[in-house]
Structure 1
């Protein structure tokens, strides 16, 4: 696939994404690296554009340069955004009660605190992304390790072997006692890479992941 074909495929995928108004998004492609420019009306749409681009076969990296330009009627004061963020987190059963703290400055929401599982950390960010008036989200929520490094590695390796999307023999896992997991090896495409990441993050005690996987 040449650069022009990849660029057009990304444009078509952006237009196909129902949660996104892609009219003001520009796309450039060079050797598998896709650059997204322009502007959208919400942070949620910005993330939707990035996810849509990753779905396109042949995309190896993305330079995300889309701006969030909030319409005048959707601009909210920071205290109102903070109040809405606290409320939406309280309603989400996957986020532990009072585990996440919220700070808002110029529309940017910073999440802090600690949770035991990565899906809880991800859920908190996902909920806040959807709020009107949010210009961006910084997720500083920490994960608290609860099991030994040996146990974590065994659970990850077993999960990779069970996953039909993953060639487990091509993946190397290194787990440190501080909850850091280093992942190395090769995968066929972005979907397989995401499948590996999901398997790693699903193990309890994983605090941080260094992804060195290469797409062949």
Structure 2
């Protein structure tokens, strides 16, 4: 990973294994004295093949007692896990998004779940 500074803008480039590493690098750059903006171009490396990724993700949601997976639809598009459907709470939506990281090869999550309280 590299960082360059141009006119008080930090440009981050490179590749990391996990999205939290990408986010942590951006947060550290934003906290540096004198920085006005950050352009985060860091990519997340594919960890393993996406074989059965949708099935693995769906099973992870079913195993999590905090998620009512009956109304959650999982689709893998490229290396992005897309969650659609609906859940009962914002906490359940967050938990489903976290569960999506279990799928090998997924480098980003699009959590489009709607919250529909009972």
Q: TM-score range by the shorter chain?
A: 0.7 to 0.9
Return the offset for 1:138. Answer: 2.9
Match of 2:70 in 1: 169
Q: How many residues align?
A: 116
Unpaired runs of at least 5, structure 2: none
Return the offset for 1:107. Answer: 3.0
Match of 1:205 in 2: 105
Return the offset for 1:202. Answer: 4.3
Higher relative contact order (CA 8 A, sep 6+): 2
Return the offset for 1:118. Answer: 2.0
Match of 2:21 in 1: 120
Q: Please identify the structure whose Cα radius of gyration is greater.
A: 1
Unpaired runs of at least 5, structure 1: 1-99
Return the offset for 1:186. Answer: 0.8
The alignment's C-alpha RMSD in Å is 2.3
- The TM-score with structure 1 as length reference comes to 0.46
| Distance in structure 2 (CA, Å) of the matches to 1:164 and 1:199 | 11
- The TM-score with structure 2 as length reference comes to 0.75
